[in-house]
Amino acid sequence: MILEKLSDWPSPKMTRLMLIISLIILLIVYPFMGYFFFVSNYSLNILESQLSFNAALLRTAYTAMNTDQLNFYRAAETFDYGFMVSYSMLIISLALIIARKFDDPSIWRKSGYFIVPLGIVTACLDAIENAFILSMTANPASFPDIWAISHSSFALIKWILLFIAIGWAIAACIIRLIKK
């Protein structure tokens, strides 16, 4: 099986380096992203915005912003692409590090190898979601309703996969601590 290749690739040294790089990217990108979201004065919280499936709600939020605020919001969404890289690398490296702590035939090791591609898939879904956001903000008063529905659909799947990855990591760490 192709996922079993993950037992030795990337090497443990490369996996640790990936973890460190992911944290460095996170520490660089997240403050800029947070700053631009803050100064944009975007009126919706993250759940309302990403999971509303509601074009009218998003239009109201976008049209309430002036040009500078919309540009700040677009900048935040652009920095989010760097954030995607960081959390993708973080999911991949943590899943590998944690999974490799378990014995080879264990369900926890195998399931960890299934979590690894979720890091990539989740970031790709987030990237598509952001493409819809950037498209909607290019014409905030009259973008097609389907864009909001598509945006929220990609966001929903992204959040589900993120919770699966995070939940697996927490459960695997707890199980590992108990078995020690």
The predicted structure's pLDDT at residue 8 = 86
Q: Please give the tally of structural domains in the chain.
A: 1
At residue 83's C-alpha, the angle toward residues 51 and 152, to 5°, is 15
> What does the pLDDT look like over 20-68, one tens digit per residue?
999 999 999 999 999 999 999 999 999 999 999 999 999 999 999 999 9
Q: How far apart are CA 66 and CA 92, in angstroms?
A: 39
The verdict on residue 34 lying in a domain is no
Over residues 112-129, the mean pLDDT reads 97
The answer, as to whether pTM is greater than 0.85, is yes
Give burial (CB, 10 Å; 0-12/13-18/19+) of 115. buried
76 part of a folded domain: no
Residues of the chain above pLDDT 70, percent: 99
- Please name the residues in contact with 14: beta carbons below 8 A apart, sequence gap of 6 or more: none
Considering the domain boundaries, does residue 118 fall inside one? Answer: yes
Read off the pLDDT of residues 75-90 as tens digits, 9 standing for 90 and up: 999 999 999 999 999 9
Q: Is 36 part of any domain?
A: no
Q: State percent of the chain over pLDDT 90.
A: 93
Q: Quote the CA–CA distance of 75 and 138 in Å, as a whole number.
A: 13
User: Is residue 144 included in any domain, yes or no?
Assistant: yes
- Please give the DSSP secondary-structure letter assigned to residue 39: H
Structural domain span for residue 153: 2-27+41-63+83-179
